[in-house]
Structure 1
Amino acid sequence: MPLFMPTPRRLLSLCLACAAVFPPFALPQTLARPGWVGSGITTDLWWKHAVIYQVNPANFNPDNGSGIHGVTQRLDYIHSLGTDALLLTTIQPDPAHAQTIDPALGTLDDLDDLIREASRRHIRVILDLDPAISFTDLPNVARFWLNRGIAGFHVSGTDDNAHAQASTLRKATGSYLGQRIVIADADPTLTPDLRQRTYRPPNPQFPQLVLDTRPGTSTTLNATIIRPAIETLQDILQAGHSLPLLATDGPTYKRSMSRYGDGQHDLAIAKLIATLLFTTRAESLLFYGQELGVRSPAAPDAAAPLINWEEAPSEKKETDKSAAPPETTTPNAALEDADPNSLLNWYRQLSSLHHGNATLNSGSLITINRDDQNVLVMVRKPQTVTAISPVLVILLNLTAQPVPLSLKGDITRLHLRGSFLRTVLRSDDNMGTMHLESMTLPPYTAYIGELHY
């Protein structure tokens, strides 16, 4: 008989002892996404061609429960946008309690449930960390959240403190399986024109993604500003260590629907901005509700806009002159889901194209200058142009008037063959091909077409 017989009681005691000695690294890591691409089994990078959805849990408070629980309730909706990762704005109550959650937003159990349910839908969860967390505490704070299954962090700011924080977090995430990532902010002082094309990485540890808002947060729809800013996105790619992450909306910006809407073409303009977000060489960051046309509050101190998720609109009543202006109307997600021409479904189509089209994923980007007409023209060229892998041309009319275009000479100068564009997606109701010699873009129209001859 062996000297030691492992009875069930002894096995239980041994397991408890091991749990007390060894920190729980292995199992919680899998919560970020069981069997995810990049778990170590494959070399694919999940954060390439990613769509990230940023939310403030306070905007998701359900009737009974916390804001974090409310986000969990809407994961199927978030997943329908092709979301790869969910970015939560800061959930810690203050820098001194960086391993806890603000009670107004939920509990650690709520977060564990969110990570687990998001993982089942192949969505990772990323955290904003309070930039005031001390450097002494930061490594332990990072390990605390990574051990719970958090897939990475966003570092706010571009000063030396933010650079140092990003560097520390990059070292921490690099010791974990599952390709945990760091998102840093691009320096907003870089001028988006062709005279300034030098990009400085935010820190020497090279975050995987660099959030750049310059192309998408200008105050006007002006090609002379947006086109050069799109070109500067490529400087991040040319540095060879990080990928650009493009945003048009965010918690510190006036929402694009309020910034650009003119009261007449608001839906068309919103579809235009969405197309810009998904068709450059950058990854895409969506901010809660922009896919539904959520607007900024009428007053700076007003409550954050909420979404009507399921209720149908009430019957039309006599207009109340004292009622809130139209721009504060709550979007109805259920109605937009049912409408094939809605802004929500336009975002879904673009997200699907962003993920599935090889040319958008890895093709080069060339802009054609039509600033004098206030039109953005982007050419996306695959590594090898074939009949089944053609060049894509993206046309964005940033004006309220129809714009005539002729691109034949430009396409020839780029040593590309083609005479017409076969429609992939367009935001207006028109049909048919677009001929390079002569075409007309309707007001605020977004068009994506394959180049053919």
Structure 2
Amino acid sequence: MEMSVWMRTGLVAVAGWMGLAGACVQAQVAAVPPAVPPTAAEVKAAAQPTHDETWWKHAVVYEIYPRSFQDSNGDGLGDLNGITQRLDYLEKLGVDAIWIAPMFPSPQVDFGYDVSDYEAVDPQYGTLADMDRLIQEAKKHNIRICLDWVVNHTSDKHKWFEESASSRTNPKADWYMWSDGKPLDPNAPEYMKKAAHDGMMPPNNWESGFGGSAWEWVPARKQFYYHMFYKQQPDLNWRNPAVEKAMFDGMRFWMDRGVAGFRLDAVPTLFEDPQNRDNPVLEGTNSQGDPRLKGIYTDNLPEVHGVIRRMRAMVETYPKTGFPGSRVLIGETYLPNTVELDKWYGGQDQNELQLPMDMLIGFRGDRAKLDVPYLRRYLTEVETEVHGSQPLLVFDNHDNVRSHDRYGDGVHDAAIDRAIATMLLTSKATALMYYGEELGMPTTTPTRVEDVKDPIGITGWPREKGRDGERTPMQWDASTDAGFSTAAKTWLPVPPNYTTLNVANEEKDPTSLLNWYKRLIALRRNTPALHDGGVVFVDTSNTNVLSYVRTPPGGAKPVVVSMNLSAQPQTVKLDMAAAGVTGTKLKTLITDVPSLEKNDRTSDIQLPPYGSLVAEVQ
């Protein structure tokens, strides 16, 4: 999604789940239903090991923002050849797949999320031949390529929209969302009156996430078109079968070239209310200063599931060229609860997305802290209430303040980073990472409005400072531009801490966060209980320490994971019997607590603030 899901003051997240900040806001904390304990049968099912070697069920997926990863030609922008140059690093890290943020031709109003051609490469990132080479070279490193597929809208410079906007009678006249509007009402909200033309104003109160009305007037048609995001990003009309066919054909184009799957951008927003009813108005204003709305008529409408079922069927029957194994559909799914998340898998039928992102765990929203009861509840729910589908956990992406800053307390930041990594990589879930997360890269937000590049930061300053801070160049080494580029000026400034916080330094430090990630990913791949095991939560009354057992396939040993997620030392007792495990001794696999390196006890375990322990049960 190209809209931030956080309303920010500096680096502090002050609002909850925001389906599309400003356009449709729904505070997650208000949408959380009462906890319903899982049944004994559900707990037993979650505890069962799996034997499914489908690649994406065990994957570590790594998001790359191409402008910021590696510049190969010295122009200050990252590019596809730069990604190819860094495949050795990604393989050594343990990455199974790369999700590349949009690299299609684009006017770059929203840095690629305004696509003007779905079947080509933007020249600033390279050529189609460069993409083909990246796919083939990545295959040699056992890494798959997934593309960011912008399904909700196009650029206003896309040939489809240019034709649609030209007249009401052209062949693509109804490929986008058009409305005559309604007569100007002097009592209408100011943002609606500002959008008025020729005595007509927008048909409803729907808002753009970038501020103001979500409707824009086109004189040639004497109509308004709908744009959930920037005005240069008109929404496609997915009720038109021709639109669906064109978008599916674009996906086939890339699968023919060996792409292993797609991350579907802003996918819950494909449909809007055909009656154009006003969204309910909530109290207060959003980050753009507009009234807060509850997006019941613009977000997560039921019709979207039919599209996804047809997309899944198309992808699953597609010839398996390139890498063997199934293609994967990953969804950007900011949802209010696990019940809604299950619908995106297709419920019991499991015929929609293979991996809708579970944002309930990594992007709390109501308060940025590692709340053990909250985490235990939602980790349990995603293991017991999605009909056995595969969870996908994520703590960082290109739209949000980095987890290092959201969860850090300024005192225990390094330990908190390690605890988050431990949860991400030892849970029974596919893991999604964001470039630089493995280094503990900080969010470096501009301090002056004139330095802001992100359109939402430009329109929302100072209340909304934009997403530039989480998109700064990758910090490779202590050389000029952090090894990212040789340009005199990079597209965003390199954070000032690059001389000390970088890949080269962390690779040499056995205690670094980077090496913590490498060790965890290797354990995840090579330890049967972490690769295939079920999960049972233990010590469940503890409000400070999150602990669970990964129950292994036959003949292997269980693994217990325990993380102190508080700022005070904690004494832990791990009841293995509660997990159906008979072992009473531990063998440490990884810990950031030196005193636990040789620990073999399951009780009286002393965990310092934010300390983590992963151990095999003997």
1:397-451 deviation digits (Å, cap 9, x = unpaired): 01122101223xx323444323332211102222321422322111111101122
**SS of the residue 2:344 aligns to:** coil
Aligned to 2:88: 76
- Tell me, in whole angstroms, the C-alpha distance in 1 between the residues paired with 2:372 and 2:410: 21
**Displacement of 1:49:** 1.0
Correspondence 1:248 to 2:413: no
Match of 2:159 in 1: none
SS at structure 2 position matched to 1:47: helix
Structure-2-length-normalised TM-score: 0.59
CA drift at 1:186: 7.1
Whether the 8 Å contact between 2:330 and 2:353 is mirrored in structure 1 is: yes
Match of 1:87 in 2: 99
The equivalent residue for 2:257 is 148
Q: Which of 134, 137, 142 does residue 114 from structure 1 map onto?
A: 134
The equivalent residue for 1:62 is: 71
Separation in 1 of the partners of 2:617 and 2:371? 26
Q: Which deviates the most, 91-100 or 110-119?
A: 91-100
Distance of aligned partners of 1:382 and 1:159 in 2 relative to their CA distance in 1, 3 Å threshold: same
* Partner deviation per Cα, 1:93-136 (whole Å, 9 max, x = no partner): 24441112223322212211211211111111110111226323
Contact 1:158 1:186 in 2 (8 A): yes
Asked if the contact 2:262/2:329 (under 8 Å) is kept, the reply is: yes
Residues in 2 aligned to 1:75 and 1:198: alpha-carbon distance in whole angstroms? 33
The alignment status of 1:136 with 2:222, answered yes or no, reads no
Deviation at 1:383, TM superposition (A): 3.6
Alignment partners' CA distance in 1, 2:315 and 2:578: 46
Q: Following TM superposition, by how much is the alpha carbon of 1:264 offset from its aligned partner in structure 2, in angstroms?
A: 2.0
The one of 372, 378, 382 equivalent to 2:548 is: 378
Matched, 1:232 2:381: yes
Question: 1-side partners of 2:356 and 2:606: how far apart?
Answer: 36
Give 2:309's aligned amino acid: S
| Alpha-carbon contact 1:163-1:202 (below 8 Å) kept | no
Say which SS state the counterpart of residue 329 (structure 1) adopts.
helix
Secondary structure, counterpart of 2:90 in structure 1? helix
Match of 1:436 among 582, 602, 615: 602
Deviation of residue 290 (structure 1)? 0.1
Question: Is residue 2:458 matched to residue 1:310?
Answer: no
Q: Which runs of 5+ in 2 are unaligned?
A: 1-51, 107-113, 155-242, 271-303, 447-464, 482-493
- The answer on 1:212 being equivalent to 2:358 is yes
Q: Indicate the larger mover: 393-402 or 154-163.
A: 154-163
Please give the alpha-carbon distance, in whole angstroms, between the structure 2 residues aligned to 1:364 and 1:183: 23
Q: Distance in 1 between matches of 2:117 and 2:341?
A: 39
Task: Say which SS state the counterpart of residue 352 (structure 1) adopts.
Answer: helix
Please say if residues 63 and 432 of structure 2, whose CA atoms lie closer than 8 Å, have aligned partners that are also in contact. yes
The separation in 2 between residues aligned to 1:298 and 1:105, in whole angstroms, is 24
Q: Is the 8 A contact 1:186 1:202 kept in 2?
A: no
Matches within 5 A, 1:281-320: 281-299=428-446, 300-301=465-466, 302=468, 304-311=471-478
CA displacement at 1:164 relative to structure 2:
4.7
| Stretch moving more, 411-420 or 355-364 | 411-420
Query: What amino acid maps onto 2:122 in structure 1?
Result: D
Closer, same or farther in 2 for the Cα pair 1:375/1:352, shift >3 Å?
same
Q: Which amino acid aligns with 1:49?
A: H
Contact 1:183 1:211 in 2 (8 A): no
CA deviations on 1:213-242 (whole Å, 9 max, x unpaired) are 322223211102111111122146x524x4
Aligned length: 389
Distance 1:334 1:239 in 2: 43
The answer to whether the Cα contact below 8 Å between 1:89 and 1:127 also exists between their aligned partners in 2 is yes
- Cα distance change on mapping 1:373 and 1:423 into 2, 3 Å: same
Aligned sequence identity (%): 31
The residue matched to 2:362 in structure 1 has which SS?
Answer: coil
Distance 1:144 1:55 in 2: 21
Which fold has the larger relative contact order, with Cα–Cα distance below 8 Å and residues 6 or more apart in sequence? Answer: 2
Counterpart of 1:278 in structure 2 is 425
For 1:248-280, what per-residue CA distance to the aligned partner results, in whole angstroms no more than 9, with x for missing partners?
111122211111112222111111100000111
Deviation of 1:190 after TM superposition, in Å, equals 4.0
Checking the alignment, whether the CA contact within 8 Å between 2:475 and 2:503 is kept in structure 1 is yes
The amino acid of 1:239's aligned partner reads: H
The AA in structure 1 aligned to 2:403 is S
**Alignment equivalent of 2:312, drawn from 161, 170, 180:** 170
Q: Is 1:329 the equivalent of 2:349?
A: no
- Aligned partner letter, 2:478: E
User: What is the identity, as a one-letter code, of the residue corresponding to 1:152?
Assistant: G
Q: Distance in 2 between matches of 1:415 and 1:309?
A: 45
The answer (yes or no) to whether the contact 1:223–1:371 under 8 Å persists in 2 is no
Partner SS, residue 337 of structure 1: helix
The match for 2:613 is: 447
Other-structure match for 2:27: none
The answer on whether the counterparts of 2:583 and 2:617 sit within 8 Å (CA) in structure 1 is: yes
- Following the alignment from structure 1 to structure 2, what is the Cα–Cα distance between the partners of residues 394 and 45? 25
2-structure distance, mates of 1:198, 1:47? 18
